[in-house]
Structure 1
Amino acid sequence: MEHFDATLLARIQFGFTIGFHILFPTFTIGIAGFLLVVEALWLKTGDAAWRRIYGFWVRLFALAFGMGVVSGVVLSYQFGTNFSAFSQATGDILGPLMGYEVLTAFFLEAGFLGIMLFGWDKVGPRLHLLATAMVAVGTVISAFWILAANSWMQTPAGFVLVSGRFVPEDWWAIVFNPSFPHRLAHMVTAAFLTSAFAVAGVSAWQLLRGVAGDEARRALALGVVLAAILAPLQVFLGDQHGLNVKEHQPVKVAAMEGLWQTARGVPLVLFALPDMAAEKNHFEIAIPKLTSLILTHDLDGEVKGLTEVPPADRPNVPIVFFAFRVMVGIGFLMVAVAWVAAWRLWRRRLAGSRWLPNWLLWALTAMSPSGFIAVLAGWLVAEVGRQPFVVYGLMRTADAVSPVTRGEVLTSLALFVIVYVGLLGAFLWYVARLINRGIEAPKEAAPPGIAWHGGRA
């Protein structure tokens, strides 16, 4: 326990709280876009089934949105309580970026969220569609500013150092820093892909349980189509992001690949047990030269190893190494499952009496949380791989913490774990009830031209 000093405990606390928080924006970004598509289909066709699909998923969206707001506020306070030195050094840059997120994204979402959730009987359908669109746009704008701030910490640019403070010099360079475009595309696509599998998996489960009919089939088909498009796109974006990381954070790439010595013709390590003390891998299983081909597009290309920097400048290699393989493995599994299901859809076996075989429905159900797991693994790669720096190459995490004791941080961490586990348990319990209840059928036939639930046509 002596190794768990205040700095490490502060990192664990922030990692735990942001890991909890990121689950909800990931879901709301993707589901907001899904709801926009569903409402547009309802408005175009007048088919009340789409309206019922919207009504079911908007409840889950509202729950996740609320959890995301509450858990996100806590993160801002931790900058002052646990990382006050970091806040003082970077506040001139990160403060405005977070302020822009509030002024543009949060106000936009807050302004239209009430109409989206409660305005069906109070506004016309086109205005309600606009409200859904504004909330969906707001979630993406929020991701834009948060990722701009985080990417600046990964690849800082557009500043000058004045007495230990990062002072803005070029806001365009700060926002559009070298890693930002790749990280934004990768994360937003991950959110949409995560939600596509969540929709498909939940719908598959409802069909297996017999608690939903046509609505679940439609939602499943839409989720599968989106996943089949987004999964291979995400693999491509991930590859491009990896090339960017190789250019700007070669030590992180070396940890991802489990590469200790700089070499040419580097193999792709499928499995190993990295040993940081011995600076080598145990029980290594690898494909010859494949890492060099992927990262340099040359079978004999050179890739820098971890020994290029002192041990004190290396991240925790086992965490980065295994988290990277979890993320990539889930990504390729998503491609396989989505394409098999899409092929069945194209073969007209995703509806009617010739439905997907039970094994594929169970596979889609099992894949429901896959996107969330991949996102958490990806953030572990990004954030642990950046260590020991909080601003890459310029400010160490050890120099960023507040003058707090180990006992103080440990107490707050324990309280966070207790409260958050309780919140997550209550959230999952209520979500499970909604899912198992399914999409309710209309209680009576709707009057001509008016969709079920009493909304306007």
Structure 2
Amino acid sequence: MDNFLAARSQMALSLGFHIIFSCIGMVMPFFMAVAHYYYLKTDKIVYKNITKAWSKGVAIFFATGAVSGTVLSFELGLLWPKFMEHAGPIFGMPFSLEGTAFFIEAIALGFFLYGWDRFNKWFHWFTGVIVGISGLASGILVVAANAWMNSPAGFDFVDGQYINVDPIKAMFNKAWFSQSLHMSIAAFAATGFAVAGVHALMIIRRQNVYFHTKSFTIAAIFGCVAAVLQPLSGDISAKDVAKRQPAKLAAMEAHFFTEKSAGLVVGGIPDTENKKVGYGIKIPGLLSFMAHGDFSSEVKGLDQFPEKDQPSVPITHYAFQIMVGLGMAMMGISFLYFLALWKKKKWLQSDWLLKLFVAATPLGFLAVEAGWTVTEVGRQPWIIYNVMRTADAVTPMPGIGYSFYMFTIMYFSLAAIVIFMLYRQIKMVPKLYDLPEGAQD
């Protein structure tokens, strides 16, 4: 494995693991805060038990997210020194602010975990809210830095020099809002479905049913609302990509030739040699409408870009199709759940609906991984879009392949430890949580 491929693989591996830890870490505190609020308002012990159980999960993912995030920050400098040499002073502000948000999150989490019966009850609840807000802010700030790589701003690039640096303009680049919105909603959808799926499984097994039913309801509502909103943020992102990164859009849709009234391809197998898509369903004019709001507008194809400047079509296209397909599946389940809440109350007690949530447990995170693949692979061959190529930023240091193998072992070991710890938490739910409904009330 050459240095370039090893460096990209290690970065992809690190991001792939960190994004799961960070999504859960930035969303679960909001679930925890809602359960805590219900406890304070109703004085039902079940909500206190849910809050305490979820707070342990928040602590686990905060720790693992901190470790994996620290590794990523070092990797940026070690694997991509040329990139950090020039880009660091420009987009360093969101990383600095993210460090501040992380610091606040750590303090607030400490207050919350050890504040039971020590603080005023509403101040204690407020510290939990701060954990969620600061965690969400951390995520948005990191995404803003990534958005800068897709839409560089805040500097002038003249004769190979980066001058007139404006960190504020760099942070609030043209891509930051659409990417942050899409990623934040995706985190709520993925975490909501994952947590709801775990509690649904426990209900099906008839274990601590009352406790898990209340937990399921909170998580499912968060996840389903996010899943319904996600296509709206996806539309905003798609229109933004069509303007700023037309080559990425063309790769996402395997759109080889520029044309008006361009059709949207659903599924299909891209044939890059013959420049066509096989076995796909093409909906006439829909790509033009989704990209530009007009069924007859022109959409640039890959024929408008030199081959050396084109991203990998198969990887980008398949990842995009997976992301959209999984998102649609989650939205379908969400509509069924809302219908059950509104009209079909009996469905809420049925195993088939719970089994749908169990089956959907990993879908959100698979969609998140696919979405990040679209974002990162679709930007290639640029590490800073249209400014610096990824190949020009990689370290010349030999032996990166060995580093990749070592980090692969480390991350899979970390994942195994996290899964074991969560499994123990689920299995060790105190017997108190299985008291009859009246006793928990």
TM-score tier after normalising by the smaller chain length = over 0.9
Map 1:160-309 onto structure 2 (within 5 A): 160-161=156-157, 164-167=160-163, 169-309=165-305
The C-alpha deviation readout for 1:128-171, integer Å capped at 9, x for no partner, is 11210111111011112211111111101111236645345333
Q: Kindly tell me: are residues 356 and 412 of structure 1, through their superposed partners in 2, closer, same or farther at Cα, counting changes over 3 Å?
A: same
Distance in 1 between the 2:434 and 2:225 partners? 36
Structure 1 residue 279 displacement after superposition: 2.8
Distance in 1 between the 2:160 and 2:349 partners? 61
Matching residue within 28, 32, 41 for 1:31: 28
The C-alpha deviation readout for 1:219-252, integer Å capped at 9, x for no partner, is 2222232233222211101111110010000000
Distance in 2 between the 1:185 and 1:171 partners? 21
Q: Kindly tell me: are residues 260 and 444 of structure 1, through their superposed partners in 2, closer, same or farther at Cα, counting changes over 3 Å?
A: closer
Structure 1 residue 442 displacement after superposition: 5.2
1:412 aligns with 2:403: yes
Distance in 2 between the 1:444 and 1:198 partners? 25
Distance in 2 between the 1:9 and 1:284 partners? 33
Structure 1 residue 413 displacement after superposition: 0.4
In structure 2, the partner of 1:426 is: 417
In structure 2, the partner of 1:364 is: 357
User: Does the 8 A contact of 1:194 with 1:371 survive in 2?
Assistant: yes
Map 1:15-414 onto structure 2 (within 5 A): 15-103=12-100, 105-161=101-157, 164-167=160-163, 169-347=165-343, 349=345, 355-405=348-398, 408-414=399-405
**Runs of 4+ residues deviating >6 angstroms:** none
Q: Kindly tell me: are residues 358 and 188 of structure 1, through their superposed partners in 2, closer, same or farther at Cα, counting changes over 3 Å?
A: same
> What is the one-letter code of the residue matched to 2:403?
S
- The alignment partner of 2:173 has SS state of coil
> What is the one-letter code of the residue matched to 2:393?
A
User: Does the 8 A contact of 1:56 with 1:439 survive in 2?
Assistant: no
- The alignment partner of 2:270 has SS state of strand
Q: Kindly tell me: are residues 441 and 250 of structure 1, through their superposed partners in 2, closer, same or farther at Cα, counting changes over 3 Å?
A: same
Distance in 1 between the 2:20 and 2:244 partners? 27
Structure 1 residue 312 displacement after superposition: 0.5
Q: Kindly tell me: are residues 200 and 160 of structure 1, through their superposed partners in 2, closer, same or farther at Cα, counting changes over 3 Å?
A: same
User: Does the 8 A contact of 2:208 with 2:433 survive in 1?
Assistant: no
Distance in 2 between the 1:191 and 1:332 partners? 16
In structure 2, the partner of 1:5 is: 2
- The alignment partner of 2:294 has SS state of coil
- The alignment partner of 1:363 has SS state of helix
- The alignment partner of 1:441 has SS state of helix
- The alignment partner of 1:266 has SS state of coil
User: Does the 8 A contact of 2:78 with 2:395 survive in 1?
Assistant: yes
Structure 1 residue 389 displacement after superposition: 0.2
TM-score in terms of structure 2 length? 0.94
Structure 1 residue 438 displacement after superposition: 4.4
Structure 1 residue 296 displacement after superposition: 2.4
- The alignment partner of 2:91 has SS state of helix
Distance in 2 between the 1:173 and 1:94 partners? 9
User: Does the 8 A contact of 2:93 with 2:167 survive in 1?
Assistant: no
> What is the one-letter code of the residue matched to 2:14?
T
User: Does the 8 A contact of 1:316 with 1:384 survive in 2?
Assistant: yes
> What is the one-letter code of the residue matched to 1:42?
Y
> What is the one-letter code of the residue matched to 2:58?
F
Q: Kindly tell me: are residues 442 and 344 of structure 1, through their superposed partners in 2, closer, same or farther at Cα, counting changes over 3 Å?
A: closer
Distance in 2 between the 1:348 and 1:422 partners? 44
Structure 1 residue 124 displacement after superposition: 2.4
Distance in 2 between the 1:201 and 1:66 partners? 23
Distance in 2 between the 1:9 and 1:242 partners? 30
Structure 1 residue 119 displacement after superposition: 1.8
Q: Kindly tell me: are residues 174 and 216 of structure 1, through their superposed partners in 2, closer, same or farther at Cα, counting changes over 3 Å?
A: same
User: Does the 8 A contact of 2:27 with 2:136 survive in 1?
Assistant: no
In structure 2, the partner of 1:455 is: none
Q: Kindly tell me: are residues 174 and 45 of structure 1, through their superposed partners in 2, closer, same or farther at Cα, counting changes over 3 Å?
A: same
The C-alpha deviation readout for 1:383-430, integer Å capped at 9, x for no partner, is 10000000001000011011123xx11100000111111111121122
Distance in 1 between the 2:109 and 2:434 partners? 27
Q: Please, which runs of 5 or more residues in structure 1 have no aligned partner?
A: 453-457
Distance in 1 between the 2:183 and 2:319 partners? 16
Distance in 1 between the 2:137 and 2:204 partners? 37
TM-score in terms of structure 1 length? 0.91
Identity between Structure 1 and Structure 2 (%): 35
Distance in 2 between the 1:208 and 1:179 partners? 43
User: Does the 8 A contact of 1:93 with 1:168 survive in 2?
Assistant: no
Structure 1 residue 92 displacement after superposition: 0.6
> What is the one-letter code of the residue matched to 2:165?
E
User: Does the 8 A contact of 2:211 with 2:433 survive in 1?
Assistant: no
Distance in 1 between the 2:76 and 2:113 partners? 32
- The alignment partner of 1:286 has SS state of strand
> What is the one-letter code of the residue matched to 1:361?
L
Structure 1 residue 358 displacement after superposition: 1.5
